């Protein structure tokens, strides 16, 4: 009895840690698979913010799998060593409860997934995207359910432990490595963020130039003219990467108000999310190549009439 009491905190800690890291790893892996589906099978009905959301969940899933999944494998290996030396630990109530809880959750996930598939199918809305996402949940849940059902039925450690671990490591490793080709390196992600911020800044500057023209019927001579100390609204006129001011050229001699905004970009926009973002704005095109790029804008007086003519 004393030995059981002495090892009880250890047993509870290790079994809880194993189950929590299992759930976390499974959810992260499914999340990663879903982002693969979103990337290779984009939904034409979704907007930029949907596509821009791919990298965030994918990066979090990668981070979780890099940290949490090895912890799960290590704790599972440690527990199997303990089982070999102390058979009573394998028969502990905490282990049995957690395994049956896992089987219960996995069974509910499988049942819910199949019900959803049939429901969507009967509604005539089945798509490749949906099938792949449903299949990913089904396979992961079935994989976990099958392994632990086989394990809980036996008095000794299942022989599937090692093949299960090897197969899991290979599958997760391949998935994580492949994801890096989508999200890119940290340096690449940083450069894309700079480009996206530049496009956002230029969009705000453009809006303020149009607002300025609507009020005064003349283009500002420089970006400094847009500054209003009485207004709480602030715009950035400086490139966040170089700390240099964005270039602005006003063509005051044209019949139609025309101006140019220029910035230097790191990558071509089709390699980032800025191009998709530009497609939402029907009045402008922010597609850019790598290097210095100028955007010429003309103000449509019918779309943006001077405020003095608005009754």
pLDDT digits (tens, 9 = 90+) for 22-45: 999 999 999 999 889 888 887 655
Both tokens of residue 188?
């690449």
Residue 12, pLDDT score: 84
Count of C-beta atoms within a 10 Å radius of residue 286: 23
* 3-state secondary structure (DSSP) of residue 152: helix
- Reduced 3-state DSSP string for 110-134: HHHHHHHHHHHHHCCCCCHHHHHHH
Q: Can you say how many angstroms the Cα of residue 287 is from the centroid of all Cα atoms in its chain? A: 23
- The neighbouring-strand residues paired with 105 are none
pLDDT at position 47 is 46
Q: What are phi and psi of 286, to 5 degrees?
A: -110, 20
Residue located via tokens 């044209």: 254
The residues, ordered by sequence, that sit 6+ positions from 267 with a Cβ below 8 Å of its Cβ are 188, 191, 192, 195, 290
- Tokens at 219, concatenated: 């283009």
Separation between Cα atoms, residue 209 and residue 211, nearest integer Å:
5
CB count in 10 Å sphere of residue 292: 11
Cα–Cα distance measured from residue 205 to residue 227, given in angstroms and rounded to the nearest whole number: 11
Residues of the chain with pLDDT under 50: 1-6, 47-51, 273-284
Contact 237, 245 (CB under 8 A): yes
| Residue 91 exposed, middle or buried by CB count within 10 Å (0-12, 13-18, 19+) | exposed
The full set of domain ranges for the chain reads 2-183, 188-309
Per-residue pLDDT, 230: 64
Which pLDDT belongs to residue 5?
45
Torsion of CA 16, 21, 26, 29, to 10 degrees: 180
Identify the three-state secondary structure at position 289. coil
Question: Which alpha helices (H) appear in the chain, and where do they start and end?
Answer: 2-40, 48-52, 55-85, 87-90, 93-122, 128-152, 161-183, 186-216, 274-278
pLDDT at position 127 is 80
Taking CB atoms within 8 Å and a gap of at least 24, the contacts of 175-180 are: 175/29, 175/32, 175/33, 175/36, 175/65, 176/32, 176/62, 176/65, 176/66, 178/36, 179/32, 179/35, 179/36, 179/58, 179/61, 179/62, 180/62
């Amino acid at each position: 009895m004393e030995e059981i009491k002495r090892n009880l905190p250890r047993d509870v800690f290790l079994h809880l840690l194993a189950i929590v890291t299992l759930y976390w790893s499974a959810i992260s892996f499914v999340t990663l698979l879903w982002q693969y589906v979103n990337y290779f099978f984009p939904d034409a009905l979704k907007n930029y913010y949907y596509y821009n959301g791919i990298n965030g969940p994918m990066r979090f899933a990668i981070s979780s799998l890099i940290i949490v999944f090895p912890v799960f494998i290590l704790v599972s290996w440690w527990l199997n060593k303990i089982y070999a030396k102390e058979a009573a630990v394998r028969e502990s109530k905490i282990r049995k409860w957690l395994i049956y809880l896992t089987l219960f959750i996995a069974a509910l996930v499988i049942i819910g997934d199949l019900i959803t598939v049939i429901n969507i199918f009967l509604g005539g809305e089945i798509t490749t995207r949906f099938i792949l996402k449903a299949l990913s949940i089904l396979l992961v849940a079935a994989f976990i359910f099958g392994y632990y059902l086989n394990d809980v039925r036996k008095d000794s450690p299942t022989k599937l432990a090692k093949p299960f671990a090897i197969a899991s490591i290979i599958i997760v490793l391949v998935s994580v490595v492949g994801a890096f080709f989508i999200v890119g390196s940290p340096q690449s992600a940083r450069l894309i963020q700079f480009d996206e911020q530049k496009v956002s800044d230029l969009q705000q500057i453009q809006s303020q130039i149009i607002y300025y023209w609507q009020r005064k019927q003349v283009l500002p001579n420089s970006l400094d003219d847009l500054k209003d100390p009485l207004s709480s609204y602030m715009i950035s006129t400086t490139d966040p990467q170089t700390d240099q001011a964005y270039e602005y050229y006003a063509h005051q001699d044209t019949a139609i108000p025309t101006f140019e905004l220029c910035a230097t970009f790191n990558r071509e926009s089709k390699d980032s999310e800025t191009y998709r973002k530009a497609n939402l704005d029907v009045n402008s095109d922010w597609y850019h190549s790598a290097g210095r790029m100028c955007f010429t804008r003309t103000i449509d007086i019918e779309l943006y009439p001077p405020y003095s003519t608005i009754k």
